[in-house]
């Protein structure tokens, strides 16, 4: 039993450095996967501490990226002097196992895998994370056809110190981009090269630079072009471009997504008006659990037993293309956004964005000023009613530029579940943990530069709307404004209007700050 709640049942996979266990989460009554990291015997305390810190870092990175094609990390436990990672339980096998045990996959299936993983990478890059270890062993194929990117243990974060890791060769030589083999840090284009090599393996059954040893593979990747594919059909030209030796010669994520989607849908070369696939064109999703955000002073939110159709095309929306998601038309992002630093270059005090007089309009019984949260946000509370303004995604207050903030906004919108069951509670306003259902993303009246909404409804007793969200972007800042009413004093439209009103106040205050420079 780990942490008093995770009971290990039986190993699912084992290797030299660890194992993956089937385990039962006895608190939430669900099965999970637990990754055990086995440390070499006799490891000195400093190295042991570094290894534990590395696993904690992997958990934090994966947990902050909410996407249907990124494995969900629920928890991390340090027990028996080693780390254990608690993740969603996936049913299926890795791409490497699937191809090695059976045979190369059909072209259209490989393209569908590519759409999912490319979308996951786009979401990670929008959050400033480069995976750096995309390979067949880190792509998991579920029994329902969903492709999931796993293992963020080697990921690099924008602005993160790399001292102590310089010169280390991270990843598998057959799937490392040439620039990284030359000692460069690499970036999104490097992940694109690795994805190209991974898809090449999936359709051909061999890496693009086959070699008898890792050293030979490094030499071939650095000096030889990829072997022309024989089974890839319409996918071949794209794979060869993704595997171009120079990063600037590779296609953009948007172009790669468009071509992959067309091949997956059996329409190679057709003109595309909208890049995002309709829900009907996607494989059925399996029930899955989303991550548990860090607590905000007693406020808890636990995702459970969610049924959701996977969204696999972030890329189109990040370039301003009209996006169709979950059967609703979501407003189009600005077609041209500045790459220059935005107006908000230092943390914003969110408690100052809404005046005490305005707070009183939504929370008449409020007696205390806004309270800063541990995620850099602010919340106002009174019995049965709460108002909350948080960075979106949590803990990341701004993008460096309006363009990057727009990508964060799109990542947040595409990670919003359209339906499902959750458990949530906010003890400080008197909301005990209870079951609810979600809706979203929803079109809202214009707020800031762009916005969308989503709502939570009580799922067991009253069925009424209890919480309404508006996620908005102003310049390079993205925020989630929440209005919660659990005492029955307001109906659904009034709660939605309250969230929109508060979001409008926030946008107006930010625009005033922006105008003042």
Q: Quote the CA–CA distance of 64 and 156 in Å, as a whole number.
A: 14
* Token pair 């994370």 in the structure block, residue: 129
Tokens standing for residue 514: 């922006």
Helix (H, G, I), strand (E, B) or coil at 153: coil
Q: Quote the CA–CA distance of 201 and 243 in Å, as a whole number.
A: 12
Going by C-alpha positions, the residue among 486, 146, 175, 89 that lies closest to residue 283 is: 146
Q: Quote the CA–CA distance of 261 and 484 in Å, as a whole number.
A: 39
- Among 16, 31, 44, 133, which one carries the catalytic annotation? 133
Q: Quote the CA–CA distance of 258 and 399 in Å, as a whole number.
A: 26
Helix and strand totals (H; E) in the chain? 12, 21
Tokens standing for residue 474: 């102003």
Tokens standing for residue 42: 């006799």
Helix (H, G, I), strand (E, B) or coil at 279: helix
* Dihedral sign, Cα of residue 164, residue 168, residue 172, residue 176: positive
Burial class from Cβ neighbours inside 10 Å (0-12, 13-18, 19+) for residue 255 reads: middle
Going by C-alpha positions, the residue among 337, 344, 341 that lies closest to residue 517 is: 344
Q: Quote the CA–CA distance of 173 and 252 in Å, as a whole number.
A: 23
Decide if 388 is catalytic. no
Q: Quote the CA–CA distance of 153 and 159 in Å, as a whole number.
A: 17
Helix (H, G, I), strand (E, B) or coil at 273: coil
The residues annotated with a catalytic role in the active site are 133
């Amino acid at each position: 039993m780990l942490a008093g709640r995770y009971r290990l049942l039986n190993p699912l996979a084992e290797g030299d450095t660890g194992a993956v266990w089937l385990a039962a989460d006895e608190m939430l009554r669900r099965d999970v996967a637990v990754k055990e990291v086995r440390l070499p015997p006799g490891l000195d305390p400093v190295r042991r501490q570094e290894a534990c810190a590395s696993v904690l870092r992997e958990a934090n990175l994966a947990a902050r990226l909410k996407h249907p094609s990124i494995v969900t990390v629920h928890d991390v436990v340090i027990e028996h002097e080693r780390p254990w990672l608690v993740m969603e339980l996936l049913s299926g096998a890795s791409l490497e196992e699937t191809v090695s045990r059976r045979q190369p996959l059909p072209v259209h299936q490989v393209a569908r895998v590519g759409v999912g993983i490319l979308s996951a990478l786009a979401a990670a890059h929008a959050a400033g994370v480069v995976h750096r270890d995309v390979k067949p062993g880190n792509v998991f194929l579920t029994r329902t056809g969903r492709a999931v990117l796993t293992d963020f243990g080697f990921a690099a974060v924008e602005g993160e110190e790399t001292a102590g890791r310089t010169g280390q060769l991270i990843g598998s030589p057959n799937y490392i981009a040439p620039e990284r083999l030359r000692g460069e840090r690499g970036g999104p284009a490097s992940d694109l090269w690795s994805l190209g090599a991974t898809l090449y393996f999936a359709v051909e059954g061999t890496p693009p630079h086959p070699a008898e040893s890792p050293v030979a593979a490094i030499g071939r990747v650095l000096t030889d072009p990829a072997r022309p594919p024989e089974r890839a059909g319409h996918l071949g030209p794209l794979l060869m471009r993704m595997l171009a030796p120079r990063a600037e010669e590779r296609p953009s994520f948007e172009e790669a997504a468009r071509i992959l989607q067309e091949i997956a849908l059996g329409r190679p070369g057709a003109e595309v008006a909208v890049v995002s696939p309709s829900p009907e064109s996607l494989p059925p999703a399996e029930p899955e659990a989303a991550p548990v955000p860090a607590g905000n002073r007693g406020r808890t939110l636990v995702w459970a037993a969610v049924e959701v159709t996977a969204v696999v095309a972030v890329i189109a929306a990040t370039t301003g293309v009209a996006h169709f998601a979950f059967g609703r038309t979501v407003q189009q992002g600005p077609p041209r956004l500045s790459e220059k630093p935005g107006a908000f270059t230092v943390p914003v005090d969110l408690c100052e964005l809404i005046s005490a007089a305005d707070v009183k309009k939504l929370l008449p019984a409020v007696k205390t000023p806004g309270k800063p949260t541990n995620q850099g946000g602010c919340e106002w509370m009174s019995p049965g009613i709460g108002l909350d303004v948080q960075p979106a995604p949590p803990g990341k207050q701004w993008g460096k530029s309006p363009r990057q903030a727009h990508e964060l906004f799109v990542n947040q919108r595409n990670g919003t579940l359209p339906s499902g069951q959750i458990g949530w509670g906010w003890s400080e306003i008197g909301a005990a943990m209870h079951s609810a259902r979600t809706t979203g993303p929803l079109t809202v009246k214009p707020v800031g530069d762009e916005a969308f909404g989503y709502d939570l409804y009580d799922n067991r007793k009253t069925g009424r709307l209890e919480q309404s969200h508006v996620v908005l972007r102003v310049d390079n800042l993205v925020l989630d404004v929440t209005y919660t009413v659990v005492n029955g004093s307001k109906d659904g439209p009034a709660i939605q209007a309250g969230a929109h009103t508060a979001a409008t106040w926030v946008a107006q205050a930010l625009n005033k700050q922006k105008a003042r420079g």
